[in-house]
Structure 1
């Protein structure tokens, strides 16, 4: 498996009672397919995975696999704070039809680099699914260093890394490890264009929940080496990417989705976007819809 292009880390729609809204989930999936998203992540951090019950995880993933029907890869978030539980969750995702597992570094426990090597090798050796490493120190309290990634990248079942650290030096060190069988993907929307122009093969994005056509265009331009056009388009997307950071993820993106009629609520301890941001959200929705309409016209031309 070689992952590339615009990959959306999907939000999980909840209704007004904070129950799964499967109709809204299907509308979100349909929008992603229609507008060019090249893979999806189910039950990652953007999908509030920590707030899902096992039966809900199963329903979300099973329904996504059935709806997508092999048209694009479906990645499942399976990372836990314990190796054995991560293996169990990865097997669960495989049984439900996922194509790969997105495995975040174990949250909270802060293993050593040697511990991370042992953790990921154990998951990959189990063989349930191809493994995508996921490094996001701001959320987990641990950092998967490039020299550690180098020890893991040669494993035949470890196929990619999603890197959320936005330093150019970090990305460059990882790009030196990229090969036919191991892809480097940006996990940071504001710097994804820069990463792809440097050689990264794509982005696992939050903002593409609401800008699927916009991010597909960004990826197409950047991966084609059209630097000036990609940077100009990135400038168009930047206000939306900045908006997604005004409150912890996925609060802002779910506010825009709610305005689009896709879900309403988050689960505690997360709360909906504060009223002080409501005017900005409405303005951002108008900007996002204009960008998407432009992209769709370009696709149809």
Structure 2
């Protein structure tokens, strides 16, 4: 990880057995599906990986399976998401031992934190984790927004190698991109959007890449989108983005009878199951599973997108 990270970096889903164990064989097929789609890196143990539901042993299974199978073909970013710095450092040591290329961490959560404590958190991970650190801006889950000034300060001093912006704050994203051009030490700082549906506009603003959960289902589509933007073909990028927006409707099939996470992750896994990539579409307890009718609606969206 000696250069700015760019391109399509899917947050890899974690296939599970009906009993809730990691399905390593399906995980390997999923990795091959993503690599076959032309992705530039992989992000394991993020939100789309159901990291919050995985025991430490299951996290290690995911790390060992993916890093071992990839064997250096592309960088593997490992989520080390936990409530406080000491717990994050334990995950960082496991990620380094498994052969991860970089770490991805949120701000601390559960305990209320101050920006000074967030700075200490990231500086400690960078100093002791042994790998480049990417910030994960995820206020919906950790209840703290990583502001542009803080990110640019940590980037400028070399603490952070990049950010995955899943804040939904396009103005904040733009402030980071604008600030990066005027902060000498932050010029190699990777800015990655976590939005599935505004990738073309983020790339037009100057983002370096995308970390799309829907990229598990259709990596080829996001690679086409990114490559169209890279060559300046914004009409092609827009057309591909709009196709993916229609496909992304799958995350709503669960409606109001389940949480958004259950509906979205259940839809991604149902789609991967229907495409023959994973054996079982189960999500971790206590998430509500999709029923047959909802899975059928996922299948119709896949067919409309040319994926079945």
TM, length-normalised to structure 1: 0.91
1:127 and 1:157 in contact (8 A); partners too: no
Task: Output one character per residue of 1:108-165: Cα deviation in whole Å (capped at 9) or x when no partner.
Answer: 3341222211111111121411001000111211111111112211232411000112
Match of 1:258 in 2: 273
RMSD of aligned residue pairs (Cα, Å): 1.7
Q: Which stretches in structure 1 are left out of the alignment for 5+ residues?
A: 294-301
Write the distance in 2 (CA, Å) between the matches of 1:274 and 1:234: 28
Write the distance in 2 (CA, Å) between the matches of 1:105 and 1:53: 20
Select which of 229, 242, 249 maps to 1:242. Answer: 249
Cα deviation, residue 208, structure 1: 0.4
Task: Output one character per residue of 1:140-191: Cα deviation in whole Å (capped at 9) or x when no partner.
Answer: 1111111111221123241100011233311110102335420110011111
Match of 1:32 in 2: 34
Match of 1:122 in 2: 124
Runs (4 or more) in structure 1 with deviation over 3 Å come to 177-180
- 1:124-139 matches, within 5 Å, as 124-139=126-141
1:270 equivalent in alignment to 2:284? no
- 1:151-162 matches, within 5 Å, as 151-162=153-164
Task: Output one character per residue of 1:216-255: Cα deviation in whole Å (capped at 9) or x when no partner.
Answer: 1111112332222211211111112232355324222112
Match of 1:199 in 2: 206
Write the distance in 2 (CA, Å) between the matches of 1:240 and 1:112: 39
Rate the CA distance shift 1:277–1:62 in 2: closer, same or farther, 3 A: same
Rate the CA distance shift 1:37–1:81 in 2: closer, same or farther, 3 A: same
- 1:42-121 matches, within 5 Å, as 42-121=44-123
Q: Which stretches in structure 2 are left out of the alignment for 5+ residues?
A: 181-185, 254-259
Match of 2:227 in 1: 220
Write the distance in 2 (CA, Å) between the matches of 1:201 and 1:86: 26
Cα deviation, residue 57, structure 1: 1.4
Task: Output one character per residue of 1:11-51: Cα deviation in whole Å (capped at 9) or x when no partner.
Answer: 10012222211111111011011110111111111111122
Question: Across the two proteins, how many residue pairs are aligned to each other?
Answer: 291
Match of 1:297 in 2: none
TM, length-normalised to structure 2: 0.89
2:43 and 2:76 in contact (8 A); partners too: yes
Write the distance in 1 (CA, Å) between the matches of 2:60 and 2:169: 36
Write the distance in 1 (CA, Å) between the matches of 2:129 and 2:63: 19
Match of 1:183 in 2: 190
Rate the CA distance shift 1:259–1:108 in 2: closer, same or farther, 3 A: farther
Rate the CA distance shift 1:110–1:256 in 2: closer, same or farther, 3 A: farther
Secondary structure at 1:190's aligned position in 2?
coil
Write the distance in 2 (CA, Å) between the matches of 1:122 and 1:111: 15
1:91 and 1:129 in contact (8 A); partners too: no
Cα deviation, residue 273, structure 1: 1.9
Q: Which moved more, 1:220-229 or 1:128-137?
A: 220-229
Cα deviation, residue 84, structure 1: 1.2
Write the distance in 2 (CA, Å) between the matches of 1:9 and 1:213: 15
